A = this chain, B = another copy of it.
Amino acid sequence: MPGIIDTDVHQTLRNKEDILAFLPKVWHEQYMTHGIGLSNPFPTPIGVNRKDAVPEGGGPAGSDPQFMLKHHVEAYGIEYAILTGGGETGVALIPDLDYGNAIIRAYNDHYMEKWLKADPRFKGSILVNAADPAEAAKEIDRLADHPDMVQVILCSGARTPYGHRFYHPIYEAAERHGLPVALHPGSEGKGMAYPPTPVGYPTRYMEWHNILPLTFMAHINSMVCEGVFEKFPGLMVVAIEGGIAWLPHLMWRMDKNYKALRAQTPWLKKLPSEYIMDHIRLTTQPIEEPGRPGELLQIFHMVNAEKTLMFSSDYPHWDFDNPKVILPPMPREMKARILSGTAYELYGSKLKKPSQAEVSR
C-alpha cells in the first residue's frame, strides 16, 4: 500500500473559550453570547460526527490532537493529515467583516498553537475571509511562511462566484506565496449566503447535503471563464469534499460552449477543461458509490484521476471514507497518485516525502 496523505481532516475547538486568548476583548461578549452567528436551517439528524471519534479524555470529536493521531492518523498509516477546520470556515458569510476577521485571526492563532505544534504530521490551512479580500490577503501574508501552513482555505458559500475580480487580491497573495487555495462546503445557505440552490431552499439536511457540489460547479465555472488562471498562472485550487463525478459534465459543457462563445472570453487561450486539468485538484470524499462499481473507475479516467484526485477521509465526520476500502480497483500507479503522489506534488516543499529507502523499510 502506498503512503497516504489525507487531504481533509477536521479539527475543532474543544471549548468555545479556546480562542478567547487570541480574540480582542471587544468581541468577547458577542462571541460568547452568539458564537459566530451563522444560522443553520439544515441540522443533521444523525450528528455531524462519528460516534466513535469522541476522545477518551472528553470534548467533541476532532478536538484532541493525540486522540486523532491514535484513532485516525496512525490507525491508517497516514503520513500527513491536512487540517481543514470546522464551522468557522463559514466566516465569510458573517455580515460584520471586522468580526469575521477577528474570529479568523483568533482561530488561526489558536490552531497553530494547539494543532500544528502537536505533531509534524498535522498540516494546516490558513482560513481567510473571502468577503474581505484585502484583509484576506493580509492574513495570507501574515501566516504563509509558517512551515506547517500548506494552503489557504475559503468556504464555498459566497455571494459572488469566485472568479470575480473582487477576489483577485486573495489569489495574488496565494500565488505569490506558492499556496493553493482550497474551497470547502458546509456553509451553503447560511449567514448572508443566497439559498443553497438557484431555485431556493431545500427542505432538510439530506436534500441540502445532496446538492452541495452545486457551489463548486458555479465557482470553477466562474474562475475559469473569468480568466483567473491566465492572470495567476501559478494558482492551484483544491475542491475539497465535493466528490468527483460532476466534473466531466462541467468540463464538457464548458468546452462545448467555449467553441461557440469564446468571443466573450478572449483572455482564454485554451479549452476550459485544460484550465481545469492544470489548476483544479479534487479530494475524493464523499466518493460516489455507483450500483455498478466499474462506473466509478470510468469517471476516474474521465477526470484524469492520476493528475487531479487526492484522497480525503473527512475524519471525524459521519460520512467518513475509509482509505482501506473506499477506492475502486484501479491501476497501482493511479492509486499511488491519489493516495499521496498528487498531494506531495501540490503541497510541495512543506511536505517531506519519505525517501525510497524509508519507503522500502
Residues of chain A at the chain B interface (Cβ within 8 Å)? 44-46, 156-164, 188-189, 193-207, 209-211, 213-215, 217-219, 221-222, 225-226, 243-246, 248-250, 252-258, 260-265, 273, 286, 288-292, 295, 298-299, 301-302, 318-319
Contacts and interface: CB of A to CB of B under 8 A. Distances in A.
A240 to B, nearest CB: 16
A344 to B, nearest CB: 28
A199 B257 contact: no
B249 A226 contact: no
Contact of A248 (B203, B215, B245): B245
A261 B205 contact: yes
Most chain B C-beta atoms within 10 Å of own C-beta, residue among A163, A197, A213, A289:
A197
21 contacts: A156-B199, A160-B200, A161-B207, A163-B207, A188-B198, A194-B200, A195-B198, A197-B214, A199-B222, A207-B226, A209-B261, A210-B257, A214-B214, A245-B249, A246-B246, A248-B290, A248-B299, A255-B289, A256-B319, A273-B291, A295-B301
A46 B157 CA distance: 32
Contacts of A207: 161, 163, 221-222, 225-226
Contacts of A205: 261, 264
A217 B218 contact: no
Contacts of A318: 260
A215 to B, nearest CB: 5
Given A194-B200, A195-B198, A198-B197, A206 B288 contact: no
Contacts of A215: 197-199
Contacts of A46: 260-261, 263
A359 to B, nearest CB: 33
Nearest to A159: B200
Contacts of A249: 213, 243-246, 249, 288
**Among A159, A188, A252, A292, which residue has the most Cβ atoms of chain B within 10 A?**
A252
A226 to B, nearest CB: 6
Contact of A261 (B203, B206, B243, B248): B206
B198 A265 contact: no
Contacts of A256: 286, 288-289, 319
A46 B263 CA distance: 9
A169 to B, nearest CB: 18
